[in-house]
Structure 1
Amino acid sequence: MKRRPRRSVPAVLTAVVVLAACVLVAVVAIQMILGERPWVSFDSVASALHDLRWSDVLPAVAGGVVALLGLVLVLAAILPGAATVLPLGGSFDAGAARGGYRSTLRAAAATVDGVSGAAVKLGARRVKVRVETSRTRPDGLADAVREAVGHRLDQVGPATRPAVSVRVRAPRKKAS
């Protein structure tokens, strides 16, 4: 069970832009049918576009921007995002929400004596834990945090156990 995020932001942005263009075209068409002065003059747009040449800078830049935007949208649709539900091991199909997984690992790191703050970053194959301590000599703290997070990973039981890396941030020693 690996649920992937929905690509709602690119889809909504694309839909809003296309909807705005369609509404503009429909309003101008209705205004022309009713004989009113349209918001956008078809003749002025057509003459401005007719005066452009393929070798001009404006069509090249506009084409590059549209091609780049299209490439970004295609990549957003094709490339998988970070899993929102991480699979757990066992004989049944179960998963843990990404936020809950991160919170339980952060809580495990924070229970270690000497840790004043902890942050956890989940990667595909690695869990990065950054802890802060007020100790001036944090010897052995990284190993203790690694052991606590590893114990919590054993309790949670992910389908694939990630490697744990720990960074300890301690105050600098004052020069005497």
Structure 2
Amino acid sequence: MKRRPRRTVPATLTALVLLAACVLITIVAIQLIMGQSSLIGYRSVTDTLHSTHWNDTAVLVAGGTLVLLGLLLLLAALLPGKPRVLPLSGDMDAGVTRRSLRHALQNTAASVDGVSRAKLKLGRRTIVARVRTDRTNTEGLTDAVRAAVDQHLDQVTPLTRPAMKVQLRTTRNAP
């Protein structure tokens, strides 16, 4: 079970651009059917297109922009994002969301004696814990945080266990 993130932003932007184009074309078509003067004149559009050459700067910039936008949309559709649900090991098809795992591990790291604040970043293959302490003697604190987070990971049992990195900062200067 690896639920991937939905590509809602590129899909929404594409849908809005297509909707705007369809609404504009529909308005112009209805105005032409009713015999009114249209919002966009057919003759002005055709005259502009006939006078434009392929090597004009505006055509090259518009073409390059559209190609770049198309490639970005294609990459967004083909490249997988970070999975939202991480599979757990075992016989059942179960998983844990990245957000809840990150919060649980962050609370575990913050509960270690001597830690005043902990922030955790859960990457694809690594966990980076940024720990802050008020102690002047920080000996063994990174090992204690690593052991607490490892123990919590042993309880959760993710299918792939990420590597652990602990970064320690002190708020006080050592004497």
CA shift for structure 1 position 31: 0.2
CA shift for structure 1 position 109: 0.3
Is 1:35 the counterpart of 2:35? The answer is yes
Q: Which runs of 5+ in 1 are unaligned?
A: none
Give the distance between the partners of 1:36 and 1:136, measured in 2 at CA.
Answer: 81
Give the distance between the partners of 1:106 and 1:15, measured in 2 at CA.
Answer: 38
Is 1:149 the counterpart of 2:149? The answer is yes
User: Normalised by the size of structure 2, how large is the TM-score?
Assistant: 0.95
Match in the other structure for 2:63:
63
CA shift for structure 1 position 172: 5.7
Match in the other structure for 2:140:
140
CA shift for structure 1 position 139: 2.5
Give the distance between the partners of 1:50 and 1:108, measured in 2 at CA.
Answer: 68
Match in the other structure for 1:161:
161
Give the distance between the partners of 1:159 and 1:127, measured in 2 at CA.
Answer: 15
CA shift for structure 1 position 142: 1.3
Q: Deviations over 1:149-176 (max 9, x none)?
A: 00100011111111111111222628x9
Give the distance between the partners of 2:102 and 2:55, measured in 1 at CA.
Answer: 54
Match in the other structure for 1:97:
97
Measured on the aligned residues, the alpha-carbon RMSD in Å equals: 1.4
Q: Deviations over 1:134-159 (max 9, x none)?
A: 22342222111111100100011111
Q: Which one-letter code corresponds to 1:74 in the other structure?
A: L
Give the distance between the partners of 2:39 and 2:136, measured in 1 at CA.
Answer: 69
User: Normalised by the size of structure 1, how large is the TM-score?
Assistant: 0.94
Give the distance between the partners of 2:167 and 2:43, measured in 1 at CA.
Answer: 65
Identity of aligned residues (%): 54
Q: Which runs of 5+ in 2 are unaligned?
A: none
**Runs of 4+ off more than 4 Å:** none
CA shift for structure 1 position 52: 1.4
Match in the other structure for 2:88:
88
CA shift for structure 1 position 37: 1.2
**Total equivalences in the alignment:** 175
Q: Deviations over 1:78-115 (max 9, x none)?
A: 00111111000111111001111111100110011111
Structure 2 counterparts to residues 99-118 of structure 1, below 5 A: 99-118=99-118
Give the distance between the partners of 1:132 and 1:155, measured in 2 at CA.
Answer: 25
